[in-house]
Structure 1
Amino acid sequence: MNIEGLRYARAVSATKSFSAAARAYGVTQPALSNGIARLERELGVTLFERSPRGVTPTPDGARILPMIDQALDALDSVVAEAHRLAHPTADTIRMGVSPLIGADLVARAFDAARNLARPRDLVLREADLTHLRDDLRAGELDIVLVPAVQAMPTFRRRVISREPVVVIDPAGSRTESPVELHAAADAAYILVPDSCGLTTFTTELFRSHDLALRTYPGEASNYRVLDEWARMGVGAALLPQSKTTPEHGGSRPLVRAGAPVEIAYEAVWDNGTPLAADLEHFVATLAQYADEGMGD
């Protein structure tokens, strides 16, 4: 079975787009489509269907695509361990972080690096998403911690943390009770340049639930200004709970059908580097810390 076809299928599943998956792999869309078609012929099932709403898995694809993920993860682990054994690695992990990544998660990362079989030091760099992704592709960073808002299908990815999202809308009710997503759509939202991923998250949240996103005609420079402007009454804002100013009040938990709306953060790294096996353990430890925290 062609492994590249399996990777193409995973990329389409992650991006929900044949064209985006092809761009991520640096191949033409016909080449990627042909690779998936060959895979489907080998498997005897159709994995995806296209519609005006985009690319979605077929019922057969919904069963098989998670198995493809597991198979590729296992294969990547074998390759990573072989690289680790064949090539000595540096004593440091160069880690990029988005401005939305909180100090608690960074502290857990230092802990995880120190607890590797061969302890490592972390060298941190904070930057916007575009620079972090470019530096990861260029090999100038070993791993990045970013909001899970845009797939990088040629890289390994794992969600390591989630946190609730809140609405700041002083023009609305003064109650601190949760607000349903459909009710929150009545407000006009201030957005920021999508350097941290917050605008992508907000836009996709409304789009995926068939809700119109009304926007304030201006733009805040970053999430800190977004918080301040929303509390001044310029417009409403969606923010991760940890990025609000609690003493000012006016924040309400955002829910959908009573369940909290959350933003996810993920680790992204290149499985082709000598550090890959250590990064696997590093990320697994970060995810374990998050699971233990949610269980408290």
Structure 2
Amino acid sequence: MNIEALRYVQAVSRTGSFSAAARAYGVTQPALSNGVARLEEELGVTLFDRSPRGVRPTAHGARILPLIDDVLDSLDVLVADSRRLAGPVAETIRLGVSPLIGADLVARVFQAARSLERPRDLVLREADLEPLSGDLRAGRLDIVLVPAVAGMPAFRHRVVAREPVVVVDPVASGDDDPVELKAVADATYILGPGTCGLTTFTTELFRGGDLALHAYPGEAASFRAVDEWAAIGLGSALLPRSKVAHEHASCRPLLRAGAPVEIAYEAVWDCDTPLGADLDDLVTALVRSGEDPEESGK
């Protein structure tokens, strides 16, 4: 059984699209589609329903896909543990964080690092999504905390936090009721650089709703500038709720098809390093530290 084909299937499952999975994995769509088809033939089941509306797991796929995740997780742990035994392990963990990552989440990472069987120190670097992704691929970082929008399927991913998104609209004075994305799609939105995770999130949100994104002709340097510029009326903005620092005439919870829009933050790391097993433990401890005690006890 081809391991790469298993990863192709996992990428399709996570992205919900063959084309998006191919872009994320850095291969052509025919190559990825052929790999998935060969695996389906080998397993004797069809894993995905393909339609113009998107890709969804079949009834068989819904049972098989979690097993594929388990197989790949076990394989990653095997490789990480083997490398940890074969080579020296660093005393520090190099952690890259997006500017959207709050201090409370960073503090939880420090606590999780201290809870490891072999406690580690953290060395932090803050940067936008694109440079952090590049440093992770180049081995200059061990793990990153970023908005869950980056296509890096060769790495391990795990969502560690979520928060609601609000729309700041300087035109809709005094209205703080929830609003559908389609109802505010015609506004002009202030964006940051293309390397920014918030800009990527906003772009993908509109694309996923098959909506045109009208961008303000200027470019903010950070989410803080997006908030400030919206406050002085240059345009509308989509922001995580915790990142709204200024008073706005209208700051409304955003909905899509009746459901609250949330931005997810994920840990992304490489198991194929001597630190891989420790990073697995770090992320597990981080997730547990943020769980609702009532929910985790159910």
Amino acid at match of 2:181: L
Change (3 A) 1:293 1:247: farther
Tell me if structure 2 keeps the 8 A contact 1:130–1:195: yes
Tell me if structure 1 keeps the 8 A contact 2:25–2:152: no
Unaligned runs of 5+ in 1: none
Indicate the residue corresponding to 1:271 in structure 2.
Answer: 271
C-alpha distance in structure 2 between counterparts of 1:256 and 1:102, whole Å: 25
Change (3 A) 1:32 1:247: closer
Amino acid at match of 1:170: P
Indicate the residue corresponding to 1:95 in structure 2.
Answer: 95
Cα displacement (A) at 1:196: 2.1
Indicate the residue corresponding to 1:158 in structure 2.
Answer: 158
Alignment of 1:5-16 (within 5 A): 5-16=5-16
Cα displacement (A) at 1:154: 0.4
Tell me if structure 1 keeps the 8 A contact 2:189–2:213: yes
C-alpha distance in structure 2 between counterparts of 1:222 and 1:177, whole Å: 26
C-alpha distance in structure 2 between counterparts of 1:200 and 1:191, whole Å: 9
Using structure 1 for the length normalisation, give the TM-score. Answer: 0.89
Tell me if structure 2 keeps the 8 A contact 1:22–1:28: yes
Deviations along 1:81-102, one digit per CA (max 9) or x if unpaired, are 2322333301100011111111
Alignment of 1:166-177 (within 5 A): 166-177=166-177
Tell me if structure 2 keeps the 8 A contact 1:24–1:154: no
Cα displacement (A) at 1:3: 2.1
Tell me if structure 1 keeps the 8 A contact 2:98–2:128: yes
Amino acid at match of 1:125: R
Alignment of 1:67-106 (within 5 A): 67-106=67-106
Which stretch of the first structure deviates more once superposed, 249-258 or 226-235?
A: 249-258
Alignment of 1:176-195 (within 5 A): 176-195=176-195
Match of 2:79, SS state, is helix
Change (3 A) 1:236 1:52: same
Match of 1:273, SS state, is coil
C-alpha distance in structure 2 between counterparts of 1:258 and 1:246, whole Å: 27
Match of 2:217, SS state, is strand
Change (3 A) 1:258 1:173: farther
Indicate the residue corresponding to 2:235 in structure 1.
Answer: 235
Match of 1:135, SS state, is helix
Which stretch of the first structure deviates more once superposed, 52-61 or 143-152?
A: 52-61
Deviations along 1:172-215, one digit per CA (max 9) or x if unpaired, are 13132322323222422122212221122112222223333333
| Sequence identity (%) | 69
Amino acid at match of 2:82: A
C-alpha distance in structure 2 between counterparts of 1:39 and 1:231, whole Å: 53
Deviations along 1:226-255, one digit per CA (max 9) or x if unpaired, are 111111111110001111115556322223
Cα displacement (A) at 1:107: 0.9
Unaligned runs of 5+ in 2: none
C-alpha distance in structure 2 between counterparts of 1:62 and 1:183, whole Å: 34
Alignment of 1:141-156 (within 5 A): 141-156=141-156
Which stretch of the first structure deviates more once superposed, 52-61 or 83-92?
A: 52-61
Q: Does 1:201 align with 2:193?
A: no
Indicate the residue corresponding to 1:119 in structure 2.
Answer: 119
Match of 1:167, SS state, is strand
Using structure 2 for the length normalisation, give the TM-score. Answer: 0.89
C-alpha distance in structure 2 between counterparts of 1:253 and 1:220, whole Å: 22
